[in-house]
Every structure is written in structure tokens, then in C-alpha cells.
Amino acid sequence: MSPGLDYVVIRSHAMMAELLSPEQIRDLAERDSLASFVEQLAETSYGEISIAAEGDTSIALESIFYQKFIERMMGVVDLAPTNIGDFLQSYYYLRFEVINLKRIIRGMYSGLSTSKIMESLIPITPYKVESYEALVEAGSLHDAIMRLEDTPYEPLISSLELTEKYDALWPVEIALNYLSAMVVFRSLERLPQNDRGLVRRIVQAEADVENFLVAAKQRSAREEARSPEEMFPTTYDISYDMLREAIMADDLTAVINSLSPPYNEILSPLYEGDVALIRSRLRQYIFDIAAGGREVNDFGFNVVMAYLIFSEIEKDNLVGIAWGKTQGIQSEDILKYLAIPQ
Amino acid sequence: MSATTGVRPTKGYLMEMKRRIGFIERGTEFLKLKRDHLAKELTSSIDILKGRRGSLLEELRVAYRAVTAAYISLGPTEVQSQAKSIKSRLELEVLPRSVMGVRYPYIKVDKQPQITGELDITLSEAAEKVLSVLDDILQLAEYEARAERIADELGKTNRKVNALENTIIPSYRGVIKFIEDKLDEESLEELVRMKLIGGALARRRG
């Protein structure tokens, strides 16, 4: 274990104590009002939260939870040794930057003001682009994408033609998804052999489930659907043939049943069209992988990855609870979509 | 002041009154026909509303659950960002329609939103569920407005029919009876007067 990794592992262990326990998350979800939720949250590591009187409360809270997660993430990712750091930066910074680029593109497409677009971005420092403001101020979607020249996002320029032809954003979004997936897979290969197992299982599960969901969505336009090989940069346990079958199937039951565990279990809510439940099951599965990784080795990269995963799941849970409480949603309807370990 | 105050008990006035009551009675018959037709329209609208409202509420619950799931799963900023990327939005016109002279709004959908392609599958499922109930919501809104306006007009028509049947027509009948009585009385007086004059003339000749 390198000295750099030692420090990050010890730091992750220490910071792990700050995370909310499953009981605390459940307790927060069961609060009867938003005020009670904020009051209870003040007794945790989040402390007192002040929310501006005007504007959307759930979005203000979401921003606070993102901010907290980014602080935690940077406290680990920026200190990790180069090979591990490269992967973590691709997995986290690039993922968030891709979300921001999508929000910029959507905002420009729908004619939102610069300030509104900037407000919708995840508060991270630009990773591979110079500045988000420069993109937003480009004036048009075409100019904004052209400004990505000489960045790793340059391949997006070739998707502009289709975007303009169909007056739709899906060509750019698919290109962005493809690009970010490729970068994550490449950086995964550079991880030390010993550390690759846990991350590979996580990245594979995410990629396979997302591929399947995209394939399931393509069913409604199966005549125009492109081949899975063109759409998905890579597949693991759910092969291109299975994805092709999913695109062509009228009923997904048989296709999902033919998948190996855990995918048949994770994807089964698709029968009833409850896709959100698939995402919460996937988070739960990833949580279990990370927890299992700690059991195998609690003094290596597994701890760092587990800390980041637990922290991100906590952020997602809190964002969901905050929105549900703002809307007065019943606790059981919120709890259904949270990933809380049993 | 009685209904007969200022009434001229003349044959000309009686004929005018009879012409008027004939016109009023015909009008009352038309109003009754309108009332019956409106009542029929209202009953059928309410039956449709009852049936559709029940099924729509259930469909709305399903759609709302899907929207809730999408928000909890993706977060509010992401949902709003994706929703804004839909350029082809719902476009509709509200046009007037009429039944028995009662105007009510008719909603014409010019353009349905195109949700495929731009949204994450979680949001896309929720949007499809909302879109599937959108036509029903619009139709229900149209029926509710129609039922409301018909009920309002039915109330007004009913009040008019009742006023005509219970107040206006009886008062006209009263006036006619009064004039007829007056005229009968006058003609009887005239007859008696003529008989007295006839008798006096006969006695003078005799």
C-alpha cells in the first residue's frame, strides 16, 4: 500500500463516522413535515441548515446536499494517488461534469436565461472544460458545442448535425453518455489489479442496468432504433444480443427472466413500469458490493470506494426525502425509493 | 295594488289581453321544452362525469405516483432540466360551443407534446402516464364546464317557467276574468236598461 493511499484510507475511515446511519435516514424519512426533517437533520453532521425564504425549497436543499457530498468527495479524490485518483476523477468529476453539460445544453435548447442555467448546475469546479459560464454565454447551442473543440468532448461536434436535423437533443446526450462511459472504462483498466475487482463490479452493474433501461426505452421506436453496438460502448453481463432482444420484445418479462442474478431481480419492477424502483434497487446492490468490499479488505482502496459510494447514496436519499417532505408525500412512498441497507 | 288596477274593461283591451296570454302560454311551452331538454343534457353530462371522474382519479393517482418516483429517483433539478428540454409542448385552443343557446367552452388540442427521446426512462414513463390522462382531463374539464353552464341555465329557465305559470299567467287570467265579468255585468245592465226602456215605451204607447 503506497503512503498516499494510506492517508486516504485513514481519512476515509475517519470520515465514514460522519455518514448517517440507516436508522437516521429512516427516521428522517418518517418525519411528518419538512420543518421536522430540517430540525432532525440539525442534530446530525449536516448541522443547522438555513433555507432562503423565496425559491424552491427542495432545490435549495438539494444544492446543500450536493455541496456536502462534493466537499466529502474532494476531500478524498484529490488526495488519492495518481492511478486511483485518475479513476476516481473520471468516475466522479467527469460524471458530474457530463450532468452539467447536459443541463447547459438543455437550458440553451429551451432558451433559458444564463442565470437560470447556471443555477441548475451542480456546484463543482469545471473538470475538462475551462469554464461553464463561457459555454452558457456562447449565445446558441451550436456555438456552445463548437466551444468544446480541443477538449475531450470534441466528438460531440459530430452529433450536432443530427441534433439540428431532428431539432432534438438526444443525439448530443447519447454522444455524451457514450463518451463518459468510454473514459470511465479506460481509467478502470489503469487501476491496480488488486483494486479493480470491486470497482469493476460496480461499474459493470451500472452500465448493464443503464444499457438495459435505454434498450427498453427504444422499444417504442424500434423501427428507428440504432443497433446496440452503436448505442452502447460496452456491455458485460447483459450482452448485445440480450439488449437487441429487449429492443424487439413486446413483453419484457421473458427477457428479464432470462437474465442472470442480480439483474433479473433488479430489473423486475420494469414489469409494472416502476423504473424508479430499479434505480433504488441498483443503488442498494452497489451499497451491498461496497459493504462486501470492506469485509474483504478494510484497509485498502475498497474503503475509499465504499466511503464515496455510501456518501453518494446518502446524498441521493436526502435529496429524495427533502423533495418528498416539501410535497407532503407519505413516508412509505418516499421510503420505497430510498436505498437503505437492511 | 291589485292586478286589475288601471285595467280598462273594454272589448279591445280584452282581445289584446287574450292575444298576449296566448303568446305567453306558447312561450311557456317553449321554455318547458327547453327546460326538459336541458335537464336531459344535464343528466347525461352528470352520468358521464360520474363515470369518468372515478376512473380519471385512479389514473391520476398512478400518474402522480410515477412523477413522485421520478422526482425522488432523479432529484428536482434534474427533472426540471429534462422537462425543459421538451420543445414540442401541448398546444390547445378554447372554442365556444352551444347547446339550446347555452355556450360552453370546447377544448381543441392542436399539438400533443413529443416526449420520446429527450427524457430519462424514469421521467419518460411518468410523462407518458401523465400524457395518457391529459385527453381525459381536458374532456372532463369540458364536461364539467358544460354541466355547470347547463345547470345554471336550467335554474334560470325553471325560475322563468315557474314565474310564468304561477304569477304572470294567473295574473293575466285574473285580468281577463275581471274584464269579462265587467263586460258581462255591463251587457246585463244594458239588457235590463233596454228592457226597462222597452217597458216604459210600451206603457206610453198603450
Give pLDDT tens digits for A216-234: 888 776 666 677 887 777 7
| Domain span at B162 | 11-205
Domain assignment of residue B1, yes or no: no
- The model's confidence at residue B4, banded by pLDDT at 50, 70 and 90, is low
pLDDT score at A280: 92
CA separation for the pair B169, B180 (Å, rounded): 16
Domain assignment of residue B157, yes or no: yes
CA separation for the pair A217, A228 (Å, rounded): 12
Using a CB-CB distance cutoff of 8 angstroms, which residues of chain B are in contact with residue A169?
85, 117-118
- The model's confidence at residue B38, banded by pLDDT at 50, 70 and 90, is very high
Residue A55 pLDDT exceeds 70: yes
Shortest Cα–Cα distance, A337 to chain B (Å): 7
pLDDT digits (tens, 9 = 90+) for A258-306: 999 899 999 999 888 888 899 999 999 999 999 998 888 888 888 999 9
pLDDT score at A232: 78
Q: What's the grid cell of residue B138?
A: 381536458
Shortest Cα–Cα distance, A272 to chain B (Å): 11
pLDDT digits (tens, 9 = 90+) for B166-189: 999 999 999 999 999 999 999 999
Q: What's the grid cell of residue B158?
A: 325553471
Q: Which of B61, B78, B59 is nearest to B70 (CA)?
A: B78
- Most A CBs within 10 Å, among B78, B81, B89, to test the A interface: B81
Q: A residues 116-145 near B, CB within 8 Å?
A: 120
Using a CB-CB distance cutoff of 8 angstroms, which residues of chain B are in contact with residue A56?
76
Mean pLDDT over residues A123-127, rounded? 90
Contact predicate B41/B185, CB 8 Å:
no
Cβ neighbourhood burial of B118 (10 Å; 0-12, 13-18, 19+)? buried
C-alpha to C-alpha distances, A250 to A218, A247, A271, nearest whole angstrom: 11, 8, 12
Which run of H or E residues covers position A318?
helix A301-327
pLDDT score at A82: 80
Residue A48 pLDDT exceeds 90: no
Domain assignment of residue B60, yes or no: yes
Highest mean pLDDT among A164-168, A207-211, A324-328, B86-90: A324-328
pLDDT score at A256: 93
Domain assignment of residue B2, yes or no: no
Q: Which of B76, B65, B72 is nearest to A320 (CA)?
A: B72
| Domain count for chain B | 1
Domain assignment of residue B99, yes or no: yes
Mean pLDDT over residues B64-72, rounded? 92
**Contact yes or no for B75 and A316 at CB 8 A:** yes
- Most B CBs within 10 Å, among A319, A325, A336, to test the B interface: A319
CA separation for the pair B92, A41 (Å, rounded): 45
Q: What percent of chain A has pLDDT over 70?
A: 97
pLDDT digits (tens, 9 = 90+) for B70-125: 999 999 999 999 888 887 778 899 999 988 888 988 888 898 887 766 688 888 88
Query: Quick one: closest CA in B to A121, which residue?
Result: B77
What is the bridge-based pairing of β-strands B91-99 and B102-111?
Answer: antiparallel
pLDDT digits (tens, 9 = 90+) for B127-159: 888 888 988 888 888 889 999 999 999 999 999
pLDDT score at A3: 56
Domain assignment of residue B6, yes or no: no
- The model's confidence at residue A102, banded by pLDDT at 50, 70 and 90, is very high
Domain assignment of residue B4, yes or no: no
- Which CATH number characterizes residue B137's domain? 1.10.287.3240
Using a CB-CB distance cutoff of 8 angstroms, which residues of chain A are in contact with residue B65?
333
Check CB contact of A279 with chain B, cutoff 8 Å.
yes
Q: List Cβ neighbours of A162 (8 Å cut-off, separation of 6 or more).
A: A171
Q: What global pTM score does this model have?
A: 0.81
Would you give the DSSP letter of residue B167?
Answer: I
Would you give the DSSP letter of residue A236?
Answer: S
Residue B201 pLDDT exceeds 60: yes
**Contact yes or no for A106 and B73 at CB 8 A:** no
Check CB contact of A320 with chain B, cutoff 8 Å.
yes
